[in-house]
Amino acid sequence: METSFALIGKGYVIVAADTTSARSIVKMKNDEDKIKTVSPHLLMAYSGEPGDTVQFAEYIERNLRLYQIRNIYPLRPSAAASWIRRSLAESLRSRNPYSVNLLVGGYDTSSHEPKLYWIDYLGTVSEVPFAAHGYGAYFGLSLLDRYHDPEAPLEEGLATLKRCIEEVSKRLVVSPEKYKVKVVDKDGVREVEL
């Protein structure tokens, strides 16, 4: 089942999400990218109701882009997370709310800090050093509690992520087979292989 992880290290945030697209009990696809680059230094991993996720992610992506075009500089990660939270909270109180869970990871180019926000479909936002959504969270969070180090270099961060992913594959009945991993730091966004 859907799983996503994210963690902060020294000057970077790693965001990982599985790549399966499923309908009912059937896997339709296993190379779906569920991490959107919403601005030059901001990543957003989304999971939840299949149609909602893509629709909402595109809405966020276009609006953040519009803000950047209008206002010279892009929204900082904290401001973007607040705005995304508000969008979800407003949607929740509408007739047809989005059911989307998000991990928003970014690098703040004005304070030079990596930032990570955990957001759920109820419009909860919390700034965290590491985060997870989906069934994988039940296995990964304890490992992250034990092994996460906010000052770790990228290799160590990726190793910690790998531990989580391996634990999920080992213990979860319906574990995803593949993950996409992206990193955001002062140079922007890039994809990495585990």
* Residues at the site binding other proteins, with contacts judged by CB under 8 A: 71-73, 75-76, 78-80, 82-83, 86, 108, 110-111
How far is 65 from 51, CA to CA, in rounded Å? 22
From the CB of 112, what's the least distance to other proteins, in Å? 10
From the CB of 71, what's the least distance to other proteins, in Å? 6
Q: What are phi and psi of 167, to 5 degrees?
A: -65, -40
From the CB of 108, what's the least distance to other proteins, in Å? 8
Neighbour order of strands in the sheet with 130-134: 130-134, 3-9, 12-18, 179-185, 188-192
How far is 189 from 144, CA to CA, in rounded Å? 23
Nearer to other proteins, 15 or 75 (CB): 75
Nearer to other proteins, 86 or 190 (CB): 86
H/E run at residue 137: helix 136-147
Nearer to other proteins, 75 or 158 (CB): 75
How far is 132 from 89, CA to CA, in rounded Å? 20
How far is 40 from 26, CA to CA, in rounded Å? 35
Structure tokens at 145: 């509690």
Nearer to other proteins, 52 or 113 (CB): 113
From the CB of 38, what's the least distance to other proteins, in Å? 14
From the CB of 79, what's the least distance to other proteins, in Å? 4
Directed axis angle between helix 136-147 and helix 154-171, to 10°? 140
Nearer to other proteins, 46 or 117 (CB): 117
Structure tokens at 179: 């993950």
